[in-house]
Every structure is written in C-alpha cells, then in structure tokens.
Structure 1
Amino acid sequence: MSFTPELIAELEVLALFNLDSTQEGIKVHSNATPDLIHAAKRLHQKQLISQPDGGYLTSLGIDAAQSAQQLLTILGVAQPA
C-alpha cells in the first residue's frame, strides 16, 4: 500500500479535527480545494465523519483522527491550528 494523493487528502481532513472536544466539528466549505471536498465525501462514505462536508467524527473517525494526528506528531509535522 502506498500514500496516494487521495489518502493524503483524507489524512489532511482528519488532522483538522480538534480531538480535545468531541462536540467540535468541522465544515469543508464549497470554496475549499476540490481535493479536500472529495476527501470529506470519502470519509463520510467510510463512516468516519457524520456529514459529507465535515460534521463530527464518528467513534471510528475518532480512532482514525487520533492515529493520523499521532503520526504527524511522530514525524514532526506541525498540525494545523
């Protein structure tokens, strides 16, 4: 398995979530890059987020976002604010 551009875009969306609060979601606006818009839709289809344009993390999505954000920390990549 390799890191495809689609997978990287999905990881970027997962990295946007604030894991300190499960009550805080995100909104991928229509003026976002097409890659992020499509990534959010795929994450929704995979049942990781509650809405096709963001929303909240599902329980599986929380696990995925934690893993994605931990990987960014391990690799020393600054997380988005």
Structure 2
Amino acid sequence: MRYNQALLDELNLLLHFDLDTTQQGIKVHHDADPALIGAAQRLYDKGLITLHDGGYLTDLGREAAEHAQGMLGLLKETTAA
C-alpha cells in the first residue's frame, strides 16, 4: 500500500497538533480547504480526534500524531544530511 492524497492530508493534519500539551486542540473551519475538512472527518471516523472538525487527539490519535511527527523529523534529518 502506498500513501494516497487522502492519507497525506490526514498525516498533514496530525502535524498541526501540539504534542507538548493535551489542553490544546485544533479547529478546521467550514470554509477551509475541502481536503482539510475531509481529512478531519476521516480522522474523526477513525477515532483519532474528538470532533469531526478537529477538537483534541484521542489516545490513539496522539499515538498516530507522535508517529507522524517523528517520521517527518526523521525524513527531514535524512534529507538534510
């Protein structure tokens, strides 16, 4: 399986969460990019975020966001080397 655009949109949305705190969520506004709105809905449907338009990370969502942010960090480091 390869990353498709929908999965990339979900990964990019997970990058917006601040992992240093559990008290800060995100809000995807109704006039945002449709791809972002769709990504939020899919993450909600998968049980990774608490609201269809953002909210907070669930425990599973936090784990996914940690992996997404960690992978991005590794790829950036590798690219810079």
TM range (shorter): over 0.9
Extract structure 1 runs of 4+ deviating beyond 2 A. none
Work out the percentage of aligned pairs sharing the same amino acid: 52
Instruction: Provide the alpha-carbon RMSD of the alignment.
Output: 1.0
Distance 1:54 1:22 in 2: 13
TM-score (norm 2): 0.92
| Displacement of 1:23 | 0.8
Q: More helix per residue: 1 or 2?
A: 2
| Displacement of 1:32 | 1.1
Q: How does 1:1-81 map to 2 (within 5 A)?
A: 1-76=1-76
TM-score (norm 1): 0.92
**Structure having the higher Rg:** 2
